[in-house]
Structure 1
Amino acid sequence: MKLPVMPPVAPMLAKSVPTIPPGASYEPKWDGFRSLIFRDGDDVEFGSRNEKPMTRYFPELVEAVRAELPPRCVLDGEIVVATDAGLDFEALQQRVHPAVSRVTMLSEKTPASFIAFDLLALDDEDYTGRPFAERRAALANALAGARAPIHLTPTTTDLAVAERWFVELEGAHLDGVIAKPLDGTYQPDKRVMFKIKHVRTADCVLAGFRWHKTSTEAAPLVGSLLLGLYHDDGRLQHVGVVGAFTAKRRAELVEELAPLLLGEGDDHPWQEWASAEAHQGQRLPGNVSRWNATKDLSFVPLRPERVLEVKYEHMEGTRFRHLAHFVRWRDDRTPESCTYEQLEQPLTYALDDIVPGLGAKAG
């Protein structure tokens, strides 16, 4: 492989801002795996944010790149799995597997798509020093004849359209909006773009905690708090965790949570999850990590009597998509009042309306 821009390359990054800035190019923020494609003839490599190759996990995209992209190019974009309901990040996570047989099976069962949104090189030309407006025009021209599963992300310079996207596209499980300076160059590993993401709050039941990885018997530290919400039928659903505490606060939580520890004979709504069989095919608090089979995800159950307010971005099914953040204790709320009804429901939106053909192959 011999290209004007050679792997590995760390992708250009974005910093969070609270509102959509004026005077930029706007595009949807796709919720997938960030990836750079390097193609030189039949040689194809998919880079990642940590600069490690992801090529082996997406054989169907390697073939699509050879069929649909210019013979020599470097593109920046996002690998996603699209379904009729929108983007499916959990299905995408399942694609990263060490077994070749499973990778092959999943490439057929949950095929991925690539959404291109920047151009680093084309033929013998290095585009990284050119303004984004010029890179975008060259990218659109290079992908003019590309077919699924290779797609070009939509863009606009109309702030009103970007604001509408921010509201509407969440219903297809998109992450928000990206704003790029029109005159900005491509700067690897630099936060020179802007991302605007949804942030909401919810009151959740505290139902357990995990010990921090540095916790010891002499110096115990709480790692994360396990959150629950009640279904209409009275079941307490595990919805995610809160972490990112200071070391001082982790130590304080050990004493603060001690009165909630289960006593002899106390029941817990998640006690059946102690059984290994309960974890088959499910995401439960005591399950084994998909990324590290030796990682201990066991938890300490607590009586579900305290309520805390958390910040979250959006839901994926019945769970928070990302790590939630602690806001405050809500001792004025009863655990039973913490239900799914409090959550804001985004409008539904079809992926095919954003990028034609993206959701059409879902199955």
Structure 2
Amino acid sequence: MPPVKPMLAKPQKRIPPDQVYEPKWDGFRSIIFRDGEEVEIGSRNERPMTRYFPELVEALKANLPERVVIDGEIVIVDPERDGLDFEALQQRIHPAESRVRKLATETPAGFVAFDLLALGDRDLTSEPFSVRRELLEQVLAEAKPPIWITPATDDHELAERWFTEFEGAGLDGLIAKSPDGTYQPDKRVMTKIKHERTADCVVAGYRVYKSDPEAIGSLLLGLYDDTGTLSSVGVIGSFPMARRRELFTELQPLVVPIDDHPWNWAKEYLSGMTESGARSPRKSEGSRWNNGKDLSFTPLSPELVVEARYDYMEGTRFRHTAQFVRWRPDRDPASCTFDQLERPVGFELAEILPPA
């Protein structure tokens, strides 16, 4: 019965030997519960997700056994670029029922299954993964898009090739599982291997720490495009508390009025301003997971350069929060462009998630 916390993975830099390897999907981790006509979609943090994906509920009823619990990932495939679209997936979390129904038609979601927790009256969590995987392949043998079963291999060489190739379709790395491992909710017993790269970025602003207005919460990063425009690409957010306060003091001489800043956008975005006049670096940016969260920022003169570690890009932004590596006083901010970024090899997602 829901809720069940999903089994988690710990990071590792190298692909370990003697494991079962799967692509790491970039979507919403979800555990699906079906009992006849009743379907419940549980999230990683145990929030019910069912109401946001009505089209997926119907697809699950059409493709899953009558009584089953399956672990997997909700994804949205962008057919134009043949890759995953996480931003479109985020848009699906909306409080208005009319909006939910509209987006269900415009950007329908799919489900990639990768583990089987229960089948009928049988609890499979104490069974080895090799048994759970074999049963998963059996119960989804006739499944049709948008329900898929994730590829898996025990070939280490093939896994290394997947790690490189699949990134071009928007996948997030690899997951390695012990073939003998049991399913352990909320335990980090799997391994995740993600891409790591660095980029020299311009520090264009900051947000204060949530509980201390004189400490840095995050640094806002920018890169120049080929027109010379400074684009927002992401944030760095992890510093010790003492360093957050030091940074706040160090950055004050660089604070500038928004009118003198490259991210002083057109008047139509004034609705995104706070009372102090600060604006979000993604114009009408908002948080669908935390309504009311203040995403305004303090603008800085774009003079500082920082080297940031990131895993991969989604469009023109870092997919996840970047990590601080070092300051780069030797770099000219104008030289911090998108050209320095490594581009993943193109890969057609349809090769592993065939369309309907």
Q: Distance in 2 between matches of 1:326 and 1:273?
A: 31
Match runs of 1:205-284 below 5 Å: 205-216=202-213, 220-262=214-256, 267-272=260-265, 276-277=269-270, 284=282
AA at the equivalent of 2:203: L
Deviations 1:40-74 (A, max 9, x none): 10011001111121111110111111111110100
Question: Is this contact kept in 1: 2:114–2:149, CA < 8 A?
Answer: yes
SS in 2 for 1:271: coil
Matched residue, 1:3 = none
Which shifted more, 253-262 or 16-25? Answer: 253-262
State how far apart, in whole Å, the 2-side matches of 1:22 and 1:114 are. 28
* Amino acid across the alignment from 1:132: F
Contact 2:207 2:298 in 1 (8 A): yes
2: distance between equivalents of 1:158 and 1:54? 35
1:116 counterpart residue number: 113
Q: Please give the secondary structure, in 1, of the residue aligned with 2:93.
A: coil
Letter matched to residue 258 of structure 1: Q
Secondary structure (helix, strand or coil) at the match of 2:200 reads: strand
Query: Could you tell me which residue of structure 2 aligns to residue 145 of structure 1?
Result: 142
Kindly report the root-mean-square deviation, in angstroms, between the aligned alpha carbons of the 2 structures.
1.8
Give the Å deviation of 1:295: 1.6
Shift in CA distance, 252/200, structure 1 to aligned 2, threshold 3 Å: same
**1:149-228 paired onto structure 2 within 5 Å:** 149-216=146-213, 220-228=214-222
- TM-score, normalised with respect to structure 2: 0.94
What does residue 81 of structure 1 align with? 76
* Matched residue SS, 2:152: coil
CA distance in 2, matches of 1:283, 1:167: 31
What's the CA shift string for 1:86-118, capped at 9, x where partnerless?
000000000011111111010000000000000
Q: Which stretch of the first structure deviates more once superposed, 143-152 or 265-274?
A: 265-274
Aligned counterpart in structure 2 of residue 349 of structure 1, from 332, 340, 347: 347
What CA distance in whole angstroms lies between the structure 2 residues aligned with 1:227 and 1:190? 33
User: Which deviates the most, 253-262 or 78-87?
Assistant: 253-262
- 8 A Cα contact 1:273 1:284, kept in partner: no
Deviations 1:133-154 (A, max 9, x none): 0100000000001111110101
Structure 2 gaps, min length 5: 274-279
Q: Which residue of 1 aligns with 2:277?
A: none
Between the aligned partners of 2:51 and 2:344, the Cα distance in structure 1 is 35
User: In structure 1, how many angstroms separate the alpha carbons of the residues matched to 2:305 and 2:107?
Assistant: 38
Residue among 55, 80, 83 paired with 1:60: 55
Long gaps (5+) in structure 1: 1-5
CA-to-aligned-CA distance 1:216-269 (integer Å, 9 cap, x gap): 4xxx11111010000111100010111011110110001111221227x97211
Aligned residues: 348
CA contact (8 A) 1:272 1:278 kept: no
Contact 2:233 2:318 survives alignment (8 Å): yes
Q: Which residue of 1 aligns with 2:311?
A: 313
Q: Secondary structure at 2:212's aligned position in 1?
A: coil
CA 135–266 in structure 1, closer or farther in 2 if over 3 Å, else same: closer
Residue aligning to 1:336: 334
> Compared with structure 1, are the counterparts of its residues 278 and 327 closer, same or farther at alpha carbon in structure 2 (3 Å cutoff)?
farther
CA contact (8 A) 1:287 1:298 kept: no
Match of 2:91 in 1: 94
In 1: Cα distance, 2:253 partner to 2:284 partner: 22
Letter in 2 for 1:77: G
1:72 to 58, 67, 72: 67
* Aligned residues with identical type, % of pairs: 61
